[in-house]
Amino acid sequence: MTVIQLPFVDFSLFLHGTADQRGKAAKQLVDSFVNHGFVRLQKHGISRDFVQQIWEWDRAFFGLPEEVKMKIVHHPGSDLQRGWSRKGTETTSKLFKENAENSPKGKGELLDEKEHFDCGPHGDIEFPNKFPSDKDLPGFKEFIEKYFDMVQGVSLEIMRACEVGFGLPENSLVGLCTPAASELRMLHYPPVSLERLETGTIKRAWPHTDFGIITLLFQDGLGGLEFEDRNKPFTFVPILPSGENELIVNTSQTFQRWTNDVVKAGLHQVNVPPHMSAITDGYIPERYSSVFFLKAHREVSVGPIEQFVTEDRPAIYPDITALQYQQEMTGILY
Ligand X SMILES: O=C(O)CCC(=O)C(=O)O
Nearest residue to ligand X, by Cβ distance, number only: 289
Question: For residue 259, which amino acid is it?
Answer: T
3-state secondary structure of 178: coil
Interactions with ligand X, residue window 263-302 (CB under 6 A):
268, 270, 289, 291
**258 or 292: whose CB is closer to Fe ion?**
292
**40 or 268: whose CB is closer to ligand X?**
268
Interior CA angle at 218 toward 216 and 219, to 5°?
140
**26 or 95: whose CB is closer to Fe ion?**
95
Q: Which does 93 bind (CB under 5 to 8 A by kind): Fe ion, ligand X, none?
A: none
Q: Which does 289 bind (CB under 5 to 8 A by kind): ligand X, Fe ion, none?
A: ligand X
Question: Nearest approach, Cβ of 282 to Fe ion (angstroms)?
Answer: 27
Binding of ligand X by 187 (CB under 6 A): yes
Cα–Cα distance between 316 and 258 in angstroms, integer? Answer: 10
Among residues 81, 93, 103, 219, which is the contact residue for ligand X, using CB under 6 A?
Answer: 219
Cα–Cα distance between 37 and 284 in angstroms, integer? Answer: 28
Distances (CA, A) of 214 to 63, 183, 266: 29, 11, 9
Binding of ligand X by 184 (CB under 6 A): no
What does DSSP assign to residue 105? Answer: T
Binding of ligand X by 205 (CB under 6 A): yes
What does DSSP assign to residue 285? Answer: P
* CA nearest to 321, candidates 131, 176, 169, 191: 176
Binding of ligand X by 209 (CB under 6 A): no
Strand partners, 236: 228
Among residues 225, 284, 294, 333, which is the contact residue for ligand X, using CB under 6 A?
Answer: 225
**177 or 265: whose CB is closer to Fe ion?**
265
Q: What share of the chain is helix, strand, coil (3-state, %, to 5)?
A: 35, 20, 45
Question: Nearest approach, Cβ of 36 to ligand X (angstroms)?
Answer: 15
Question: Nearest approach, Cβ of 104 to Fe ion (angstroms)?
Answer: 24
**22 or 114: whose CB is closer to Fe ion?**
114
90 Cβ neighbours under 8 A, 6+ residues apart: 81, 112, 114, 116, 333, 334
Cα–Cα distance between 113 and 39 in angstroms, integer? Answer: 26
Binding of ligand X by 164 (CB under 6 A): no
Interior CA angle at 303 toward 299 and 308, to 5°?
130
Which span (169-177, 217-225, 228-236, 306-314) binds ligand X, by CB under 6 A?
217-225
**Site of interaction with ligand X (CB under 6 A):** 185, 187, 205, 210, 217, 219, 225, 268, 270, 289, 291
